[in-house]
Structure 1
């Protein structure tokens, strides 16, 4: 008599084990990562297979009919081994292509909250929300639309097609970067710092520069009055009687703190920033949020922006939640209540609500989280109802982003709910974004121009950064709505390349004909949006118009860099040299911003590892193609070069073997390799290409030839080496 089945809640052993514990015959607690893998220091190697265990004794189980086996097999392989169906109404993540030899997708950390039924039906290109560890070890939520979730998908995709690398085996992939906030260790009363009025104005102008297009809370006249109040407070007889005045001085300290942190010329700026923020934070929490006010909304918006600059995104979003709730209590989202107020109060309330709404929607869209501010009718706020003389550009950029963020909110909500878009829905969103872009005033469409400091106006940097923020909000929205089509297209291309390496005829006949032209078109829209975003930011960085800390811009550049890197995995990307240049440019901009931002440094490191993985994948692919052609072709003679010192001629193969044996490499190749690895945007000049025949295939000559042939207008003739050396380098052959 067989033993009755033990219920799941009564089991003392786990029902499943990870692959590492199975291989080492260790007991597994079925957690992800399990305690055994954590003790070994390899939590990233802990994964669980979705394949059912095959029991050796069939008699111990009830007999199953052929129909039940067939239905079980079809349901277990749904989404992983099904053929590529014609794309119709819903395209992208719902209809992934299949490829020969595909395997079941392993269970991932972000899949734990998904039911087994949904997991089995999930396609291999799906992106799931994730739970990451904060600095204190607490799990925090990151949505499926976030760049972090997209990064995890790229790691799994590249590992499946190119194997393990530093990009796919990142040790901190399960952690969310949270930098430590610098503290002065002093109370608000003990903090004393001597800063003159001119220095404060310079730092406040840096705040206006870095926040243009996102925040517009005070006018120049109001800032001047705040500085007068600050001077009066520091005098022996100065006292502030009203709570509103105290809240305004807190806002002044926060603007100075943000300006000092974003400028970051030296350690003095960072120390000054920490002092002012510490003092403002203590004053903001003095009454423990008892009475909501417009000053409370403004102060918590400013503290949230400071936390984003300090790489404390979770803290910043919590501050935005407090500001959003206080704004709702005060009725800032109701336009009808503003009509009875004085003009200055009405303008302040409208600017505060728009600033809160923009920052809340953009930052939550970056992390894939639901926004905390309530939705309002877009037509309620007139675009030009509160324009004020010298601040016309600031309010224009604020209104433009306020309108575009409503479209971004609709995109994020639908993408979070459905995880995919149909072609019709995508085109409708793109048309709405394009109509918004066409309605932009001429002041917001001015290009980036580099001027000398003597020629630049006082607000040239502020205007340029505001235009960049408006443009990049548009590019980010386009990227978000079309990214799924790029994923679908590149995934099909990778599978086609893998099938072509095995059976070229089969790959051409079965996969190419299923390529959807609309998917290809929308995928190129995604790549073009990423290129335009990176090109805009790279031009501004080269023109010395960006500040040292651009907290939101760096997240956008990182998302664009991931899109460009995914596109470069396709062999057809070799025809688009601007995409590779833009990918390198994204790393260059992040390298510049990494001086003051640990988050930008992490982004730069990830994209650098991604670049190495892309190059390795392309090298392996080219090597496989050359091996397939070598079965039909044999090289008879190898080219030789004359020696210039009068010694006997030496063949390339001899020199190559000697160099490899001695550990020496041709200095030209070493210089070229260093330039490529360092992320330089400059391609190989023709004078370097002239001496490349001095390097044999074993040292990478074929790699340079494949990568840069399309960039050269002149076709190199390897046989005519004397002519090349004479005409391009100017060296007479010996």
Structure 2
């Protein structure tokens, strides 16, 4: 009999190490009636064993494959030396081997990344895509955990419905031939000042010193049509958004008509600026999806005139070179904020971009520049999205490289930004607002990278049901997961405190879309931390985030819903902790009250006149008007329990007992239960195959 060699065996035959004929189903599975389980996984590619002295051709081939797996931003600009290629390949292979060898250990420090991308409804009922890294996706994850583990009716319909608030424009379209809105020179100074303040840290499109003079000169000479007029109208529209909404709308509608009409002619820097300002106006008006669309025009126009190449910009003179470079960096900030806040791919990229995001002084120290600081931190956040949220698992090894970048940014910028925020009351309001926006992006980057570990710890600490309640202390847990979860909570606390402090000082405008978006994420993190037992002090910071959101809710439709969600989550957490405290104290009192006869040993009867065992942990309460329920269902039922005469002031945290056996959980039991609870939730499905991702090529 001639034996044929099969290139790939089914999974069952591989596990049992038996001969497989390669058919589907194979004979082995068919004979054991396992035809439905016969599955062929793709054959793994064998590693090619090369000699120690590789040829230049083979080395160059391997090096090109290695280079293709490295992000383009990390590749050297010069061509590598061919003689050095084998060394780099050996170093890369050694790193991969080390990661594979220690995969069993790193698996213990992994966390699943929530895959909560979804379609939400906009103001007109149309479906809008929201990606995994968006704050709204975090809310969907939190809502699913809360409703499945804590309270099925925890969120009210107003806060739990899957929707995306967006102000629908009800104003009629304006054509270029319409009457120009009048420009009041007396109020122009105030409007320009507000514009400069609210855009600090987001965009830097003009020479702020001469901007007012330019607008006044433009208004007195007559108002010519074109992209330049659209830019000036948009500056006034943004400045008057929080002052006079009617005038702001008139300026914006006319400016948008001028900007769209300018697309028929030659594109220039004014065209890019006008559509960038349209994007910013719509963000502040809670029309985020429209802003996303108009920004695409600005990005395409920027590429068409070469703003992404600083050598091209230098041909227009020194002043125009600086303006074009800063326009490109402003577009990058807007693009990254839009993509991260909505979980969508960015419109622009750093590929083939030569505009520098750092400026050094004569001593070689980095100059203080809010726009550069904002570009840098959002670029790190973009890398977090690409390296973490495009995968299904995150490990401590992957987190370590990102944390080094965040520490480097923090060492260069954080102390100076905090110095501006906590400076004297006479500090420039423009710089304070810009510093707040930049530092808020930094806090959100920390929350974003540590968020999967916080979700893991939350599922670990929350009970699967009321009968398997576990202690929520976790104060002695110093694992890598717990430390990252605490870092996420710390970043949210710091952000809520700093934003509310500036709100109380009256230094922040009522329309700050970037701060509102990141603040909403921090309020969710704080509510989750309180619910997961990370400390009762988080209630204070949760109230801070809610107070700040309520301030922005006066002008921001998104902040209205965000504040309702945050308050609902805080209420759920406090009610849950109160019930847990009552249950803990009842269990402790039940076992300790007999020491000195504090509670008379009674035997209440059930409805069937059978005595109830008061020594167990599952004692039932008799009530002729309702069915028997455990005493842990609510604090109010303490009045009908055998321990109703205990002083409520004695209620506090205590040890946790298994409700079925009355014995304490051991550490091993707690870990098993946490893994079971986290896995049973099934929020984060793994990839097909062996259930994990090889991160060797991404470290």
> Under TM normalisation by the shorter chain, which class is it?
0.5 to 0.7
Aligned positions of 1:511-530 closer than 5 A: 517-530=479-492
Q: Are positions 1:595 and 2:554 aligned together? A: yes
Measured after TM superposition, the shift of residue 609 of structure 1 is 1.1
Residue matched to 2:272: 297
Q: Are positions 1:260 and 2:240 aligned together? A: yes
For the 8 Å contact 2:309–2:353, the answer to whether it is kept is no
Residue matched to 1:397: 370
Residue of 524, 544, 550 corresponding to 1:562 = 524
SS at match of 1:145: coil
From the superposition, tell whether residues 443 and 171 of structure 1 become closer, same or farther in structure 2 (CA, over 3 Å): closer
Residue of 164, 170, 187 corresponding to 1:176 = 164
Residue matched to 1:539: 501
Measured after TM superposition, the shift of residue 513 of structure 1 is 14
From the superposition, tell whether residues 376 and 496 of structure 1 become closer, same or farther in structure 2 (CA, over 3 Å): same
Q: Are positions 1:160 and 2:148 aligned together? A: yes
From the superposition, tell whether residues 281 and 378 of structure 1 become closer, same or farther in structure 2 (CA, over 3 Å): closer
SS at match of 2:240: helix
Aligned positions of 1:678-697 closer than 5 A: none
Q: Are positions 1:623 and 2:596 aligned together? A: no
Q: Per-residue CA shift, 1:545-602, capped at 9, x if unaligned?
A: 111111110111000111111111123423xx1x221111000000011001111111
Residue matched to 1:571: 533
SS at match of 2:153: coil
SS at match of 1:446: helix
Q: Could you tell me which runs of 5 or more consecutive residues in structure 1 were left unpaired when the two chains were aligned.
A: 1-61, 73-84, 95-124, 639-696, 708-734
For the 8 Å contact 1:226–1:249, the answer to whether it is kept is no
SS at match of 1:369: coil
SS at match of 1:540: helix
Measured after TM superposition, the shift of residue 279 of structure 1 is 1.0
Farther-moved stretch of structure 1 (190-199 vs 279-288): 190-199
SS at match of 1:439: helix
For the 8 Å contact 2:132–2:389, the answer to whether it is kept is yes
Q: Are positions 1:485 and 2:485 aligned together? A: no
Measured after TM superposition, the shift of residue 318 of structure 1 is 0.9
Instruction: Write the distance in 1 (CA, Å) between the matches of 2:573 and 2:645.
Output: 19
Residue matched to 1:422: 395
Instruction: Write the distance in 1 (CA, Å) between the matches of 2:255 and 2:361.
Output: 29
Measured after TM superposition, the shift of residue 512 of structure 1 is 8.5
The alignment of Structure 1 onto Structure 2 pairs a total of residues equal to 514
Instruction: Write the distance in 1 (CA, Å) between the matches of 2:572 and 2:352.
Output: 46
For the 8 Å contact 1:91–1:485, the answer to whether it is kept is no
Q: Are positions 1:464 and 2:432 aligned together? A: yes
RMSD, aligned α-carbons: 3.6
Residue matched to 2:331: 356
For the 8 Å contact 1:131–1:140, the answer to whether it is kept is yes
SS at match of 1:571: coil
Instruction: Write the distance in 2 (CA, Å) between the matches of 1:498 and 1:489.
Output: 18
Aligned positions of 1:11-160 closer than 5 A: 88-89=106-107, 91-94=109-112, 126-160=114-148
For the 8 Å contact 1:594–1:601, the answer to whether it is kept is yes
Measured after TM superposition, the shift of residue 383 of structure 1 is 2.3
Measured after TM superposition, the shift of residue 299 of structure 1 is 0.8
For the 8 Å contact 1:297–1:326, the answer to whether it is kept is yes
Residue matched to 1:714: none
Q: Which consecutive segments of 4 or more residues in structure 1 shift more than 6 A? A: 66-72, 511-516, 697-701
Measured after TM superposition, the shift of residue 628 of structure 1 is 2.5
Aligned positions of 1:639-658 closer than 5 A: none
Measured after TM superposition, the shift of residue 528 of structure 1 is 0.9
For the 8 Å contact 1:307–1:315, the answer to whether it is kept is yes
Measured after TM superposition, the shift of residue 296 of structure 1 is 1.3
Instruction: Write the distance in 2 (CA, Å) between the matches of 1:329 and 1:467.
Output: 32
Instruction: Write the distance in 2 (CA, Å) between the matches of 1:563 and 1:704.
Output: 30
Measured after TM superposition, the shift of residue 175 of structure 1 is 1.7
Instruction: Write the distance in 2 (CA, Å) between the matches of 1:87 and 1:542.
Output: 48
Farther-moved stretch of structure 1 (323-332 vs 595-604): 323-332
Instruction: Write the distance in 1 (CA, Å) between the matches of 2:650 and 2:370.
Output: 45
Measured after TM superposition, the shift of residue 250 of structure 1 is 1.0
Instruction: Write the distance in 2 (CA, Å) between the matches of 1:461 and 1:420.
Output: 42
Q: Are positions 1:250 and 2:230 aligned together? A: yes
For the 8 Å contact 2:357–2:375, the answer to whether it is kept is no
Instruction: Write the distance in 2 (CA, Å) between the matches of 1:258 and 1:473.
Output: 22
SS at match of 1:140: strand
Instruction: Write the distance in 2 (CA, Å) between the matches of 1:515 and 1:274.
Output: 54
For the 8 Å contact 1:91–1:519, the answer to whether it is kept is yes
Normalised to the residue count of structure 2, the TM-score between the two structures is 0.67
Greater RCO structure (CA 8 Å; 6+ sep): 2
SS at match of 1:418: coil
Residue of 190, 198, 218 corresponding to 1:210 = 198
Measured after TM superposition, the shift of residue 382 of structure 1 is 5.4
Residue matched to 1:24: none
Measured after TM superposition, the shift of residue 170 of structure 1 is 5.0
Instruction: Write the distance in 2 (CA, Å) between the matches of 1:322 and 1:698.
Output: 69
Residue matched to 1:34: none
Measured after TM superposition, the shift of residue 399 of structure 1 is 1.0
Measured after TM superposition, the shift of residue 626 of structure 1 is 3.2
Residue matched to 2:568: 609
Q: Per-residue CA shift, 1:653-710, capped at 9, x if unaligned?
A: xxxxxxxxxxxxxxxxxxxxxxxxxxxxxxxxxxxxxxxxxxxx99999489759xxx
Residue of 277, 280, 283 corresponding to 2:255 = 280
Residue matched to 2:616: none
Measured after TM superposition, the shift of residue 230 of structure 1 is 2.5
Farther-moved stretch of structure 1 (468-477 vs 370-379): 370-379
Instruction: Write the distance in 1 (CA, Å) between the matches of 2:517 and 2:357.
Output: 30
SS at match of 2:286: coil
Instruction: Write the distance in 1 (CA, Å) between the matches of 2:268 and 2:354.
Output: 25
Instruction: Write the distance in 2 (CA, Å) between the matches of 1:160 and 1:86.
Output: 31
Aligned positions of 1:433-472 closer than 5 A: 433-440=406-413, 443-449=416-422, 456=426, 460-472=428-440
Q: Are positions 1:199 and 2:187 aligned together? A: yes
Q: Are positions 1:494 and 2:482 aligned together? A: no
From the superposition, tell whether residues 341 and 512 of structure 1 become closer, same or farther in structure 2 (CA, over 3 Å): closer
